[in-house]
Amino acid sequence: MKGLIQEFKQEREESKMLKQQLTSQQERAQQRLEEDMSYCQSLAMECGASEESIELWMASKLFEK
């Protein structure tokens, strides 16, 4: 019985670590997406697009899923 409880505890800890890793990966992916979107918008503005332009709006739509 003690072996079963120990195995359960170990698997629970492994599950927690995997969840933390997944959350960290998702946060990094979201941060990367925000950085890419900002970069794309800045390129559009460098090319003369105003903040109200269709080009800048389109630059933000490129990153929607």
CA distance readout (Å), 56 to 25, 33, 35, 36: 28, 16, 15, 13
| Residue 64: pLDDT band with limits 50, 70, 90 | confident
Query: CB of 27 within 8 A of CB of 49?
Result: no
Summary count for the chain: helices (H), strands (E) = 2, 0
Residue 11 domain boundaries: 1-62
Instruction: Enter the pTM of the model.
Output: 0.63
pLDDT in tens, 4-43: 889 999 999 999 999 999 999 999 999 998 898 888 888 8
Residue 22: count other Cβ atoms within 10 Å of its Cβ. 10
Residues 6+ positions from 33 with CB-CB distance below 8 Å: 63
State how many domains the chain has. 1
